[in-house]
């Protein structure tokens, strides 16, 4: 097999995302931010555009910088988890590889606990606060996804790097999306 080298990759959110978010809205509290992440996850399942995961990045004035949903299967990209899509798009918008060098604090809300890949990615992205809905064990129990190996004290590792972690925000609502995905026969990968 000889072939031209691929030198570019192009990842996109589904078109419905433009209708699901309001970039002018103030997402004042942690609950508002998490509600958007879970709503993105829910709509991703409903639209069949990816796995049951959503995430969103917010700036210091509680406005949305970028949204993300899981696009792994649809875009043939194991990287394209919701948190990664949201952080990459936020970095593109701010034109900075580290979000919180420009705006502070930066909050990432994710409907489910980051997997081993997104755990590491969160450290480099320039996040100050990480809001988590469902736990890793919920993702495995309800939707059958492996979350991969994390450091034993993963929350401590994040907090030692200046990232505040808030868990169990609307955990039941996020669990409901995971359950709906499994009940609809959603793919595990």
Binding mask 41-60 for a second copy (x = CB under 8 A): ------------------x-
Residue 188 found at the interface with a second copy (CB under 8 A): no
CB of 176 to a second copy, least distance (A): 25
List the catalytic residue out of 83, 141, 147, 172: 83
> How many C-beta neighbours within 10 Å does residue 154 have?
17
Tokens of 163: 């990232």
DSSP letter at 6?
A: P
CB of 28 to a second copy, least distance (A): 15
Q: Which of 13, 36, 142, 143 lies at the binding interface for a second copy (CB under 8 A)? A: 13
Residue 185 found at the interface with a second copy (CB under 8 A): no
Residue 155 found at the interface with a second copy (CB under 8 A): no
User: Contact, 128 vs 92, CB < 8 A?
Assistant: no
Query: For residues 144 and 140, what is the distance between their CA atoms, to the nearest angstrom?
Result: 4
Interface with a second copy: number of residues (CB under 8 A): 66
| Cα–Cα distance list, 119 to 16, 17, 20, 176, 189 (Å) | 27, 24, 26, 23, 18
Q: Phi and psi for 57 in degrees, rounded to 5?
A: -110, 130
Residue 159 found at the interface with a second copy (CB under 8 A): no
Query: For residues 139 and 18, what is the distance between their CA atoms, to the nearest angstrom?
Result: 26
Q: Which of 47, 77, 176, 182 lies at the binding interface for a second copy (CB under 8 A)? A: 77
User: Contact, 82 vs 110, CB < 8 A?
Assistant: yes
Which positions are annotated as active-site residues?
83
Q: Which residues here bind a second copy, judged by CB under 8 A?
A: 1-13, 15, 17-18, 21, 23-24, 59, 61, 63-64, 66-67, 72-73, 75-80, 84-85, 87-98, 115-121, 123-126, 148-152, 154, 157, 189
């Amino acid at each position: 097999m000889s072939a031209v080298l691929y030198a570019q990759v192009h990842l996109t959110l589904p078109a419905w995302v433009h209708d699901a978010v309001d970039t002018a809205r103030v997402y004042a509290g942690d609950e508002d931010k998490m509600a958007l992440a879970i709503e993105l996850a829910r709509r991703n399942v409903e639209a069949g555009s990816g796995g049951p995961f959503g995430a969103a990045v917010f700036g210091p004035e509680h406005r949305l910088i970028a949204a993300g949903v899981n696009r792994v299967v649809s875009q043939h990209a194991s990287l394209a988890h919701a948190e990664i899509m949201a952080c990459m798009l936020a970095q593109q918008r701010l034109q900075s590889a580290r979000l919180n060098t420009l705006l502070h604090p930066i909050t990432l809300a994710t409907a489910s606990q980051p997997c081993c890949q997104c755990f590491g990615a969160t450290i480099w992205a320039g996040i100050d606060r990480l809001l988590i809905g469902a736990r890793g064990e919920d993702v495995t129990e309800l939707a059958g996804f492996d979350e991969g190996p994390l450091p034993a004290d993963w929350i401590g590792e994040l907090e030692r790097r200046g990232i505040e972690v808030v868990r169990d925000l609307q955990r039941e609502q996020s669990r409901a999306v995971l359950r709906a995905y499994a009940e609809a026969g959603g793919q595990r990968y």
